[in-house]
């Protein structure tokens, strides 16, 4: 497995001299949950066909998700057209088979310690993403059952002391939806200086401010000799807003979060949620 060092990454970024005003769409970044995946967490035939259309048009297909790469892997295996993945909310950019890793980002040890301390004073179940595994210090409970029901890997148990010795990409807090929504205005958490985002009603995520799908796509597109004007992004949630803001074109799913819809350049035509992505691709390609 190959990981590029910081000097190589800076070199890749400096290579990004493509004229963003020309060349058209050359890369499609596609969110999973609520976008490519339907309410049943499956890929409809219409959406599968849309992926094939993008690839046939010569467009690089990238899956960009908040999921851990292990959770993305079953979907990648269904889509041979996908050559790249952005996982863990942008903390990792890699080949679809993970044979090479373009970039990785991690929380500072001090940030992990602060989150563990904050967790001890609040009633949430925490899950920790490292590059290769998903961990929790909690014992089996309803929050972890709900997490696993979303096609996520069952977290491995590790003590807080063990977690402090790991490189952590992001931390999820699982809990009752109203309590999770309240984290948005939690002043104690805001003081930590981390990025926080609610991805579903029962999950709140913490990452470094610079870890987003947009920063990951910027690194990937530069490595492929493309600019932001060559990128179209498809998504439905708040965690997709950074890539909506960055990409030259963006499509929000009509059933998505209201603030995400307001930030996309386009909204997919109305219709069943399991085929919204296909309708967006139809509008894009004609």
The tokens for 25 are 């769409």
pLDDT at 3: 35
Q: Where in the chain is the domain with CATH 3.30.1240.10?
A: 109-207
Q: In the prediction, which pLDDT does 57 show?
A: 97
Supply the pLDDT for residue 23.
76
Q: Which residue has the tokens 């148990």?
A: 157
- pLDDT at site 250: 98
- pLDDT value for 92: 98
Residue ranges in the chain whose pLDDT is less than 70: 1-22
Please give the pLDDT value at position 66: 97
pLDDT at 13: 37
Assign domain 2-105+211-285 one CATH number from 3.10.129.10, 3.40.50.300, 3.40.50.1000, 3.30.70.20: 3.40.50.1000
Q: Within the chain, which residue ranges are assigned CATH 3.40.50.1000?
A: 2-105+211-285
How remote is the C-alpha of 45 from its chain's centroid?
23
Pairwise CA distance, residues 240 & 250, whole Å: 10
**Tell me, what's the pLDDT at 244?**
98
**37: DSSP letter:** B
3 state DSSP class of 89: helix
Q: Which two tokens stand for residue 135?
A: 């961990």
CATH architecture of the domain with range 109-207: 2-Layer Sandwich (3.30)
Contact yes or no for 105/84 (Cβ under 8 A):
no
């Amino acid at each position: 497995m190959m990981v590029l060092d910081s000097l190589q990454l800076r070199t890749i970024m400096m290579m990004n001299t493509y004229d963003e005003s020309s060349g058209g769409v050359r890369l499609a970044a596609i969110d999973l949950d609520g976008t490519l995946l339907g309410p049943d967490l499956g890929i409809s035939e219409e959406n599968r066909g849309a992926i094939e259309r993008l690839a046939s048009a010569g467009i690089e297909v990238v899956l960009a998700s908040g999921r851990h790469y292990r959770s993305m892997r079953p979907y990648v295996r269904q889509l041979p057209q996908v050559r790249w993945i952005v996982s863990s909310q942008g903390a990792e950019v890699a080949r679809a088979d993970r044979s090479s890793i373009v970039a990785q980002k991690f929380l500072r040890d001090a940030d992990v310690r602060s989150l563990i301390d904050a967790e001890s004073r609040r009633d949430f179940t925490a899950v920790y993403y490292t590059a290769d595994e998903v961990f929790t210090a909690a014992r089996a409970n309803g929050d972890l059952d709900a997490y696993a029901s979303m096609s996520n890997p069952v977290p491995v148990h590790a003590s807080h002391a063990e977690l402090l010795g790991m490189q952590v990409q992001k931390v999820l807090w699982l809990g009752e939806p109203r309590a999770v929504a309240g984290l948005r205005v939690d002043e104690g958490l805001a003081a930590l200086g981390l990025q926080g985002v609610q991805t579903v009603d029962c999950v709140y995520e913490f990452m470094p401010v610079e870890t987003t799908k947009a920063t990951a796509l910027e690194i990937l597109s530069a490595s492929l000799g493309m600019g932001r004007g060559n990128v179209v992004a498809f998504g439905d949630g708040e965690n997709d807003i950074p890539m909506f803001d960055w990409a030259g074109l963006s499509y929000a799913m009509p059933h998505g979060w209201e603030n995400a819809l307001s930030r996309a350049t386009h909204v997919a035509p109305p219709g069943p949620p399991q085929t919204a992505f296909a309708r967006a691709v139809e509008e894009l390609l004609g």
